[in-house]
Chain A
Amino acid sequence: MFKNFLMIIFSMILAISACGQESINSGGDKLLVINQFMSHPALDAVAQGVEEALRKRAAKVKIQLQNAQGNITNTVQIAKHQASQSPEVIVAIATPSVQSVAKARTNVKKTIIAFAAVTDPVAAGISKLENIIGVVDTPPINDLIDILLKALPDKKRVGIISNSGEINSIKIAEQFISYSTAKGLRVINMQISIGAQVKAAAEKLVSEVDVIFIPQDNIVVSAIDSVIQVAASQKVPVIGNDPSLVDKGLLFALGCDYFKIGVQLGDMIADRLENKKVEPNIQGSGIKEFRINEKMAVILGLDSQILKGASK
């Protein structure tokens, strides 16, 4: 009885997928597939930026996006699936995606790999690949620290809550510590590995530091409300390198504008599709975005004009 049940389900899936087959050559459009590692404001912004740029350039592409929901095996299977459709371009958003896409690509000459939201392509093992373009996001940590020194000169002790399981988080924290220590600040780094530890880390830090810095990463960001709440109750400002979090209560943030990074990548892709050379094939992104939360400034008793002035 159960075997029949399974057979029915199977046939249904087969039938559905049969009608689901996309025809690649509809109107001569080229196939562009996006392999996004997970849902996250920054990664979402990259995808939007790419699509916006391609639209502005009137690129003749058919776009398909797949989201792996943060699961490595899904990323791999999506990469293989997309590669088998023999697309012109595979856009990989985040490090595990580009690693899987690099392995899955079958036609190196034909398929362009375009990546973004990867902080260290060398460590990811993809910098020397053939037929690859990408935008590396170098978070402007040093600039952020300079702004901090100008805007809040009396705050000398900084606390960081970072995620030991995310390479971006570790690198940003390291960079923050080295530059700020050189500038005479004292830094305490609390490393966590799961969301439940974030609040406790914040509670410990508020009694020992004057400012808290949140690097851009998934786990800490997922618990950001608890950090803001704990910090605000002790009048401790929270700053970060992800501008999209300012609305949640960061006092200010200076970071990569991921939408603009997506646009930059989209332009690079459009160039390649028009058979123009793209040099260098892996570029940095100089575009920065600075945002202030005025309400938070009021709560903390700070003058937002001074803060704005610090970013000049």
Chain B
Amino acid sequence: MNILQLLGSVEIGLIYALVAIGVYISYRIIDFPDLTVDGTFTLGAAVASSLIIANIDPLIATLMSIFAGALAGMVTGYLNVRWKILGLLAGILTMTALYSINLRVMGKPNITIIEDATIFGSQSVIIVSSIVVIIFIVLLVRLFSSEFGLAVRASGINPKVSNSYGINVATMKLFALAASNGIVALAGALFAQSQGFADISMGAGTIIVGLASLIIGEALLQPKAIITSLVACVIGSIVYRIAIALALNANSIGLQASDLSLITALLVAVTMILPKLKHR
């Protein structure tokens, strides 16, 4: 592998680190397997791209995409807490609806912004993404160290006892889902701006990539505190992309990019099963 390939992996890995962080918030902190992200990733890209085409400042366009993602997360949350729809299903419902919404936002299945100004300007994608990731890690660490953030964590760990300590578990869930999906939408917006286009199919498989990155990071760093967990998301995401790049290099044993889905699924499954075997 040469340095360019490594940098290419790091570049995608940093943007997808935000996806891993979003999945960490929903899956680990409030124990909610949230499939909405498959739709929110594309939503972020769609909103940012459409606004950029309409000559809106890219920074504002990106902020709007975070807002849109947060709304999508709250829809899923609302379906779950108000109507008691199973979390997994609520996420699928929102994700399915988002397909049509995203098409409406973009106007067509594929839009290009390759000639428009983006949030990256002329800076390197890696540098700007690193700054964004660091900013969000700092924000989230501060958030989860606050009374409010601790209450969010508590509601995911033990909803019944949280209730008895005056925590409105429903509100906590809504907040966490909004934050999680807002961050994933941001990732989508950054991805579109770094690649110059948004495509309706770009969100497919986002949850799996997020989970794989999260799990790899946790396996490598064994995090005990919030900050190490968030750093693990970043490391895991980059390692995952490097692993893919390595697999692409392994042409000689017949490994194809098409095998990547299988490998990813196996990786996630194995990492989820191993702790259970340990407990036997």
Contact = CB atoms under 8 A, between A and B. Distances in A.
Within the complex, are A and B direct neighbours (CB within 8 Å)? yes
Interface of A: 1-3, 5-6, 10, 13-14, 16-17, 19-22, 39, 64, 66-74, 76-78, 80-81, 83-85, 95-96, 99-100, 102-104, 106, 123-126, 128, 164-167, 170, 193
B114 A67 contact: no
A71 B243 CA distance: 17
A193 B95 CA distance: 13
A64 B99 contact: no
Contact of B114 (A21, A76, A125): A125
A66 B256 contact: yes
B5 A81 contact: yes
24 contacts: A2-B219, A16-B246, A16-B250, A16-B253, A17-B247, A73-B191, A73-B202, A73-B209, A74-B260, A77-B241, A81-B248, A84-B4, A96-B110, A99-B110, A100-B195, A103-B194, A103-B195, A123-B108, A124-B110, A124-B197, A125-B115, A164-B109, A167-B110, A193-B103
A185 to B, nearest CB: 25
B248 A66 contact: yes
Interface in B221-280: 222, 241, 243-253, 256-258, 260-261, 271, 274-275, 278
B250 A17 contact: yes
B103 A103 contact: no
B4 to A, nearest CB: 3
Which size bracket describes the interface of B in this complex?
Answer: 35 or more
B177 to A, nearest CB: 23
Contacts of A67: 256-258
Main secondary structure of the interface of A (DSSP, over half): helix
Contacts of B11: 80
Nearest to B239: A10
Nearest to B246: A17
A69 B250 contact: no
A99 B114 CA distance: 9
B168 interface: no
A77 B205 contact: no
A170 B12 contact: no
Given A71-B205, A74-B257, A20 B251 contact: yes
Interface in B1-56: 1-2, 4-5, 8-9, 11-12, 16
Contacts of A77: 8-9, 12, 241, 244-245, 248
A271 to B, nearest CB: 27
Contacts, number: 149
A69 B110 contact: no
A101 to B, nearest CB: 11
A193 B246 CA distance: 35
Nearest to B216: A6
B220 interface: yes
Most buried by B among A68, A72, A125: A72
B195 A70 contact: no
Given A80-B12, A103-B195, A13 B4 contact: no
Given A71-B205, A170-B108, A80 B5 contact: yes
A84 B202 contact: no
Given A2-B274, A167-B108, A76 B100 contact: no
Interface string B115-151: 1000000000000000000000000000000000000
A126 B272 CA distance: 43
B100 A104 contact: no
A73 B251 CA distance: 19
B206 to A, nearest CB: 9
A20 B109 contact: no
A12 to B, nearest CB: 10
B8 A95 contact: no
Given A77-B248, A165-B109, A99 B256 contact: no
A164 B103 contact: yes
Closest 3 CB pairs of A and B: A125-B112, A80-B8, A84-B4
B158 interface: no
Nearest to B201: A72
